[in-house]
Amino acid sequence: MTDPKFNSGLILPNRRRFLQGSAALAAGALAMPYVARADDKVLYINSWGGPWLEAAKANLFDPFTAETGIEIRTVSPVSFAKLAAQVKTGVYEFDVTTLGGGDIVRANEAGIIEDLEAPYEGGLFQNGVASHAFATVMAWRTDTIKETPKSWADFWDVERFPGGRSLQRYAARVLPIALLADGVAMEDLYPLDIERAFAKLDEIKDHIRVWWTAGAQSTQILRDGEIDMIGIWHGRYFEAEDAGAPVAMTWNQAEIDRAYWVVAKDTPNMEAAKLFVEFATSAKPLAGFASQAKYGALNPAANEFIPESAQPRMPTSPANYPLAFEQDMSNWGGDPHEVSARFDEWLAS
């Protein structure tokens, strides 16, 4: 259930509960066989870089350390493979990470994340606590694309909008975009027609110059003009815009993902990890993080602390959200792991 101290906007966790948790953690550590584990006063978080890390440090990491005395150290990049490997080996590089909806399903099936309780009503999805929303949007260079594209169908239209394209190398995000380009309405996307999506991807494959794999990479190729049109995370797009690049974007048919905090299965720093997840998704810290990084906060109580000036760049704002759609991993239309493997084979063919 929701902790009233957090949802009232107060950011301080219950110190007695923390001290009790630390004592339990210390006792548990003495009983455990040796593994390469962090000190109980250090929490390792698998993190993204760029604006995400800057906002997390200012609004989540540093305030958490100030209150609890637990130092936070980051490990990059975010890696599902590392999460799975460390749980298997018992050698932990990090205690906490964020996953998207598709990876949450995979992680639960593999048994590599801890059972969690919802710190606020409706905040839990398959043992991930909902933190923030981000969107994949269509963006382009205004110095080479003279007419304004309005939809993913325009992205596929290489005759009307000539130039090099780029998409993320991530099946769960690319397949719905392909279906939109093929004329499927947003409200009819799920469950996905996997065969139809791959057939549509066949049409654009030869025009994709870069299948980007890191957020910083997507910003760079857009900013430097290496490509003309791109599917890019909205925060990374605004980096290019703020750097003065001749770029534009649309919120129309933006694809919204939810990011969830998860705790690595059997991590030695269990109590501190769970305390951090509760802190990071509480109202005021989350509002600060979302406002600075331009994300949409998923704890409704955070909205009280988000200034109106931040709304235009948030995918969940009243103006932007009706133009977008959310991923539906519970009704996805196939096994995400199998489709991901097929996508990699398709790219290599």
Q: How far apart are CA 179 and CA 158, in angstroms?
A: 17
Look at strands 165-168 and 229-233 and give their pairing. parallel
Task: Count, in order, helices (H) and strands (E) of the chain.
Answer: 14, 11
**pLDDT for the residue 40:** 66
Q: How far apart are CA 72 and CA 91, in angstroms?
A: 18
Show the domains of the chain with their CATH numbers: 4-132+258-313 (3.40.190.10), 134-257+325-348 (3.40.190.10)
Q: How far apart are CA 110 and CA 212, in angstroms?
A: 27
Look at strands 325-326 and 229-233 and give their pairing. unpaired
Residue 104 CA: distances (Å) to CA of 11, 12, 134, 251: 27, 28, 16, 26
CA atoms within 13 A on the CB side of 261: 27
Provide block-wise average pLDDT over 10 residues at a time, the chain (349 residues): 37 39 39 44 92 95 97 92 93 95 88 96 95 97 96 98 97 96 97 98 98 95 98 95 97 97 96 97 97 93 93 92 93 89 96
State if pTM tops 0.85.
no
**pLDDT for the residue 28:** 39
Residue 86: beta bridge partners?
Answer: none
Nearest CA among 134, 138, 102 for reference residue 329: 102
**pLDDT for the residue 213:** 93
**pLDDT for the residue 3:** 38
**pLDDT for the residue 115:** 96
Burial (CB count within 10 angstroms: exposed 0-12, middle 13-18, buried 19+), residue 26: exposed
DSSP string, 65-108: HHHH--EEEEE-S--HHHHHHHHHHS--S-SEEEE-HHHHHHHH
**pLDDT for the residue 336:** 84
**pLDDT for the residue 49:** 83
